[in-house]
Amino acid sequence: MGIEVKNLVKSFNKKVILDNISFKVDDGKILSIVGFSGSGKSTVLKLISGLIEKDSGEIITTGGDIAMVFQYSALFDSLNVFDNISFALQERKDLRGKYTQKELEKIVAEKLDLVGLSGIEDKYPSELSGGMQKRVSFARAIVTEPKIILYDEPTAGLDPISSTLIEDYIVRLKNETHAASIVVTHQMSTIQRTADSVLMLYNGGAVFEGTPEELCRKETPYTKQFVEAAIEGPMKMK
Amino acid sequence: MYFSRLICYNKLQKMRVYYKATYTYKIFRMFMQEFENFIHTLGLILGFGIEFFKGLKNRPTTIRETMVQAARFGISSLPITLSIVGMTTIIVAMQVAGEMVKQGAGNYVGMLVAILTVREESVIMAGFAIISMIGSSLASEIATMKVTEQIDAIRVLKVNPIHYLFTPRIIAGTIMMPLVVIVASLFGIICGAFAAHMVSGLTFKAYFDSVWFGLNMHDLRVCIMKAISFGFTIALISCSCGMEARDGAKGVGTATTKAVVWSFVAIVILDMIFAATCFY
């Protein structure tokens, strides 16, 4: 089933950010959430991951772990790559002591291999490029075999080639883990290369829901403005 | 009737607008805002304190991380603590030794310096040194983790950030502060001996005889209890203020300042409570 969100409402200081948002993401599928800055895209991810509380509505998930890849990786800068990736296995109450050092090393090596970064276990985040940090954060996210993966602007601040690489890894992780994924992004290339479906948010509500192809057809004023990156249109920047 | 009510209402509205523009109102608002912030921070620190104790019950802390934090508390702060305590004791000994020897009270110089050092100076000066060096760095470290979403990442990975971050730091602070204070007290008393000897020619034997005569176990016990409570308080306040940081670099700065100010005030209040309850 993946994730099902029904009539989700969230407001901050009496300002409604999300107003009756509903959507569904099946296992092994990727939903891309797009919209202006401040339209509540990241709030959706924070609500699903449990970082903030919803005002009302329902978030139904398959069960199992929920992983999140943060916009700026959010790697623990005082820990090396090995400790970053194995953090949950070493520190989580239900997993602590379950794995031997050898097993941890094997799991970390596997996950690093999956994101194409073998042999960097001893390096610290400050020694890695932005793209590498992002891939390490992918490895950290999938270490507990999550059923849901949330990506908050995974290609933000990266050069086009690194972005393409990251997009490929998002698809690869989807295929490897069969997790339901949500990717918050502004970039058309990320939508086209990764998403199975797209949800566009504006003014607290969903103004478009469909496939990337339907988005690119520009059949509604909202999709037309977004795809053409036009200033004029129904969506006004605040 | 309706119109007179409307006029009254309009007049009240105008008065309200006028009142809100006055300085009295603005000062009152600022005062209330500060009071609200004070209550909020106090509640926060107490809440984190309770969560810390819950964590102690639930999970053994990471020994490796606690050792790292203990080294940070003990070794990093020791040079500055010894310098401050040593110099303060030298100043006190220089001020009193000459005069006391002249008045025939040379036998009490060691006692005076030792009591002052053990009861007050070493603990409070070590507290100030640890706040400035370690408390501020703890607050800024955790605040940076907060604004760079590292704390959120810990939460998403289903690890309690209070247990993971606070526990080793608070345990390290609580254990290391008494050790720092004991070393600082010994160092202060020895510095006092040299200063008294240089200023008044008081012999080391006379000075240390007076120290042994003047000090008792009660002083040492209170000194250690104070150090334990100061260490715990500084670590808890610093971590709590760091945890509440928001709004990027500015938030990190605000959290650090808050941690330092709150820790200073807290240890002075604690010191007063100890003075009132343990020596009178």
Please give the full DSSP string across A62-85, using - where no structure is assigned.
-SS-EEEE-TT----TTS-HHHHH
H/E element, B47: helix B23-58
**Two tokens, residue B236:** 């808890």
* Domain boundary assignment for chain A: 14-39+50-64+147-238, 77-144
Cα separation of B264 and A118, whole Å? Answer: 48
pLDDT digits (tens, 9 = 90+) for B178-187: 999 999 999 9
Chain A residues in contact with B62 (beta carbon < 8 A): 91
Decide yes or no: CATH 3.40.50.1100 for domain A14-39+50-64+147-238.
no
pLDDT band at A238 (very low <50, low <70, confident <90, very high): low
Please tell me which of the candidates B62, B149, B159 has its beta carbon nearest to residue A74.
B149
Chain A residues in contact with B145 (beta carbon < 8 A): 76
Inter-chain Cβ pairs, chain A and chain B, closer than 8 A:
53
Residue B164 Cα, gap to closest chain A Cα (Å): 8
**Two tokens, residue B143:** 């605040």
Say whether residue B54 is in contact with chain A using an 8 A CB cutoff: no
Say whether residue A145 is in contact with chain B using an 8 A CB cutoff: no
pLDDT higher than 80, residue B4: no
Say whether residue A230 is in contact with chain B using an 8 A CB cutoff: no
pLDDT higher than 90, residue B37: no
The mean per-residue pLDDT over the stretch B125-139 comes to: 94
pLDDT digits (tens, 9 = 90+) for B210-225: 998 888 888 899 999 9
pLDDT digits (tens, 9 = 90+) for B235-280: 999 999 999 998 888 999 999 999 999 999 999 999 999 989 987 6
Say whether residue B1 is in contact with chain A using an 8 A CB cutoff: no
Residue B34 CB-density burial (10 A; 0-12 exposed, 13-18 middle, 19+ buried): exposed
**Sign for the pseudo-dihedral over CA of A151, A154, B162, B147:** negative
Chain A residues in contact with B150 (beta carbon < 8 A): 74-77
Chain A residues in contact with B149 (beta carbon < 8 A): 70-72, 74
Cα separation of A17 and B90, whole Å? Answer: 63
Is B2 in the same domain as B54? yes
Please tell me which of the candidates A66, A74, A88 has its beta carbon nearest to residue B150.
A74
pLDDT, residue B252, reads 94
Number of domains in chain B: 2
Say whether residue B60 is in contact with chain A using an 8 A CB cutoff: no
* Domain membership of residue B158 as a residue range: 62-278
pLDDT higher than 70, residue B59: no
Could you tell me where the DSSP H helices lie in B131-203?
136-147, 150-156, 161, 167-200
DSSP string computed for B208-249: HHHHHHH--HHHHHHHHHHHHHHHHHHHHHHHHHHHT--SHH
Is B48 in the same domain as B82? no
**Two tokens, residue A144:** 């507990």
Question: Does the distance separating the beta carbons of B148 and A72 come in below 8 Å?
Answer: yes
The answer to ipTM > 0.90 is no
Is B41 in the same domain as B154? no
pLDDT higher than 70, residue A200: yes
Is B162 in the same domain as B227? yes
The pairing of strands A30-35 and A15-25 is unpaired
Token pair 């955790």 is at which residue?
A: B142
Instruction: Please give the residue of chain A at the shortest CA–CA distance from B58.
Output: A93
Please tell me which of the candidates A67, A72, A94 has its beta carbon nearest to residue B156.
A67
Cα separation of A165 and A168, whole Å? Answer: 5
Is B273 in the same domain as B149? yes
Choose from A61, A93, A101, A140 for mutation: most chain B CBs within 10 A.
A93
Chain B residues in contact with A51 (beta carbon < 8 A): 152, 155-156
Q: What phi, psi does B58 have (nearest 5°)?
A: -80, -35
Please tell me which of the candidates B59, B62, B148 has its beta carbon nearest to residue A74.
B148
Q: Are A148 and A2 in contact (CB under 8 A)?
A: yes
What is chain A's percent helix, strand, coil content, to nearest 5?
35, 25, 40
Question: Does the distance separating the beta carbons of B155 and A51 come in below 8 Å?
Answer: yes
The mean per-residue pLDDT over the stretch A212-219 comes to: 84
pLDDT, residue B99, reads 86
Question: Does the distance separating the beta carbons of A88 and B159 come in below 8 Å?
Answer: yes
Q: Are B117 and B189 in contact (CB under 8 A)?
A: yes
Q: Are A8 and A161 in contact (CB under 8 A)?
A: no
Choose from A45, A69, A70 for mutation: most chain B CBs within 10 A.
A70
pLDDT higher than 60, residue B60: no
Is B79 in the same domain as B34? no
pLDDT, residue B193, reads 93
Chain B residues in contact with A65 (beta carbon < 8 A): 158
Chain B residues in contact with A74 (beta carbon < 8 A): 148-150, 152-153
The mean per-residue pLDDT over the stretch A159-187 comes to: 87
Q: Which residue has the higher pLDDT, A189 or B150?
A: B150
Chain B residues in contact with A70 (beta carbon < 8 A): 149, 152-153
pLDDT, residue B126, reads 93
pLDDT digits (tens, 9 = 90+) for A83-139: 999 999 988 888 888 889 999 999 999 999 888 888 899 999 999 988 899 889 989
Is B216 in the same domain as B247? yes
Angle CA(A123)–CA(A127)–CA(A132) in degrees, nearest 5? 85
End-to-end CA distance of chain B: 69
Cα separation of B46 and B232, whole Å? Answer: 12
Chain A residues in contact with B152 (beta carbon < 8 A): 46, 51, 68, 70, 74
* CB-CB neighbours of A33 under 10 Å: 27
- Give the pTM: 0.84
Q: Are B119 and B219 in contact (CB under 8 A)?
A: yes
Query: Strand runs (DSSP E) across A166-213, as ranges?
Result: 180-184, 197-202, 205-210
Instruction: Please give the residue of chain A at the shortest CA–CA distance from B60.
Output: A93
